[in-house]
Amino acid sequence: MYEHGVKATSVDDVLVASGCGKSQFYHYFSGKNDLVAAVLEYQFEIVLGGIHEFRLDTWSGIRAWFDSLLVGQEQRGFKGCPVGSLTVELSASSPSLQRHVAEAFSRWENILADALTSMKRKELLEPRAQPVLLAETTLSAIQGGYLLSTARRDIRPMETALAAAYTHLRTSRARR
């Protein structure tokens, strides 16, 4: 589903790939939508889980995280953000999946905002920095970078976007 899109991946495709029978599938999932929700959950878990390897409340941690995103995008063959691609396709689908997506993005944003708030407390960010807005901006840059990089099959646009995002964060750093 990540590679070919949700719509383009049939239940039968999944069954073949997993080596399961149909009855098994419909025993554990109520239908395709249920599976899609599970995939979404799974992908978000990976993305959000990956974040915790980094100390996002330090400048070097943020940089390391950005680098890991770049490496991942290249290694996976420019297939885009595991959740970004799903998001676009599902944003036009059933409301329940839609809510799922929105909520997952909020969680992601909150993790960033929390880290930035922590940086503010540690006086790495200036007092009037706005963590929530900075988190939103950063996430936008990441997603936009993924999209351009995927469209062009080139890591450069994403590098540029993340570098700009980092610069933008740095403009809110505390100066002593």
Binding site for DNA (CB under 7 A): 9-13, 20-24, 26-28, 31-33
Residue 3 interaction partner, one of its own copies, DNA, none, beta carbon < 5-8 Å per kind: its own copies
Report the distance separating Cα 36 and Cα 33, nearest Å: 5
Q: Binding of its own copies at residue 47 (CB under 8 A)?
A: no
Across the strands, what pairs with 125? 173
> What is the rounded distance in angstroms from the CA atom of residue 4 to the CA atom of residue 1?
5
Provide the minimum distance between the beta carbon of 94 and DNA in the complex, in angstroms, as a whole number: 11
Residue 46 interacting entry, from DNA, its own copies, none, C-beta within 5 to 8 Å by type: none
Site string for its own copies, 146-165 (x = CB under 8 A): -xx-xxxx--xxx-xx--x-
Q: Which is nearer to its own copies, 63 or 79 (CB)?
A: 79
Choose the one of its own copies, DNA, none that binds residue 128, judging by a C-beta under 5 to 8 angstroms depending on kind: none
Among 19, 75, 171, 175, binds its own copies (CB under 8 A): 171
22 binding partner (options its own copies, DNA, none; Cβ < 5 to 8 Å by kind): DNA
Q: Angle CA(23)–CA(29)–CA(33) in degrees, nearest 5?
A: 120
Cβ-contact 119, 125 below 8 angstroms = yes
Distance CA 171, CA 163 (A): 12
Q: Residue 86: exposed, middle, or buried by beta-carbon count in 10 A (0-12, 13-18, 19+)?
A: buried
